[in-house]
Amino acid sequence: MILFALALAAPAPAQTQADLTAQAGGDWKRADMAMNAQYRATMAFMKTMDAHPAPDAKRGPTYQQALLASQRAWLAFRDAQCVIDSYGYRGGSAQPMEQLACMATLTRQRTKQLKDLVWQR
């Protein structure tokens, strides 16, 4: 019991800004890997949808083309948005961490969007 109380009273190990930025980078990489896996799954689903086109499917892009265009536009949006979000720390050592944290958050949101695109008919 005494050891538990001492553990609670001990100060947390100091973290440098570089440590915090590295943690944010790892979080973003994990989010990015999950999004890429979901993108591949969603694209595979879109390919099945294109294999059975609706009668008016001759107009507009295919499911695959629309998903690719959407993903490219989203990537550009995410990158630009996270630059803006990090500007509260512009020029400071925390700016890269904030930008990476934003990228992780938006990437997790995009993963959910991609998952929601896979529906059953």
Say which residue, 5 or 65, is predicted with more confidence.
65
Please measure the distance between the N-terminal and C-terminal CA atoms of the chain and give it in whole angstroms: 58
The answer regarding whether domain 18-50+62-116 maps to CATH 2.60.40.10 reads no
Q: What tokens appear for 17 in the block?
A: 């800004």
What pLDDT band is residue 119 in, cutting at 50, 70 and 90? confident
What is the C-alpha to C-alpha distance for residues 111 and 36, in angstroms, rounded to an integer?
8
Amino acid at 91: G
Query: What's phi and psi for 47, nearest 5 deg?
Result: -65, -40
What is the C-alpha to C-alpha distance for residues 12 and 30, in angstroms, rounded to an integer?
25
pTM summary value: 0.82
Say which residue, 119 or 121, is predicted with more confidence.
119
Residues near 27 by Cβ (< 8 Å), separated by ≥ 6? 100, 101, 104
